[in-house]
Amino acid sequence: MATKSFLSQLTPLDAQRLQKSVKATVQNSGRLTFAMDAVNDMKLTEDKSIIILAAGNGDLGAVISEKGDPEAFALKKCGAYFYVSFKNYLQQAGVDYKSQRIIYDITELDEKYKGRTLYKFERRILPKGDKEESDPTETAEERQEASPAAPETASTPSGGEAPTSPAPEAADAPVPVSAPSDAIPPPPPPMPPEEQTPDELQEGTAQ
């Protein structure tokens, strides 16, 4: 019996598809933001909405619908990105999205839901890193509200005088270093010349 060659068992990989980052990420604001590859692959536009279905293991299913569908999440655009407001679902499902990083890897399936292409959102939960990606859909005002408030400075008393900080304590005065006990003392100063009376001066002249 002839065995199959190794080449006949190989199937080319779809490099273009496999190198894409087709995903959606949950932001600290509770928004589910779609990466650009997901926007292009799912053909997301402002005149569309997205129906999302939940699985028991945390994964999601999704199909694209028309804008205004009451069963769908409204697609909102910010710059080149699209997102849906997802905070209520996350809180209802008990998903701790603030201390964990939630990412959904998106795959197009051969299955249909109500005649529409079904996408699988496979959930990944990662620990938050020190350096987090900023939300591309977050406005400057929202970013400022989310950042911790700066500590308040001391206010001026009602009397009008600003509080003064205590003066720094004076440094201790330097202590003179005493000479060692075996040091040779300096010689005494010379004695002043002895004063003579006028009588002694006269006697000395006479001699």
The DSSP bridge partners found for residue 120 are 61, 107
Q: In what order do the strands lie in the sheet with 31-34?
A: 73-74, 48-54, 60-66, 116-127, 100-113, 23-26, 31-34, 81-85, 76-78
User: Can you read off the two tokens belonging to residue 187?
Assistant: 């010689």
Sequence length of the chain is 207
> What's the pLDDT score for residue 200?
52
CA-closest candidate to residue 28, choices 140, 143, 106: 143
> What's the pLDDT score for residue 21?
78
> What's the pLDDT score for residue 150?
47
Is the pTM for the entire model greater than 0.75? no
pLDDT digits over 101-155, tens only?
A: 999 999 999 999 999 999 999 999 999 874 555 556 555 555 555 454 444 554 5
CA-closest candidate to residue 49, choices 31, 39, 32, 63: 63
Buried-state track 4-27, b at ≥16 Cβ within 10 A, e below 16: eeeeeeeeeeeeeeeebebbbbbb
- In the chain, what percentage of residues exceed pLDDT 70? 62
The domains of the chain, with CATH numbers, are 19-133 (2.40.330)
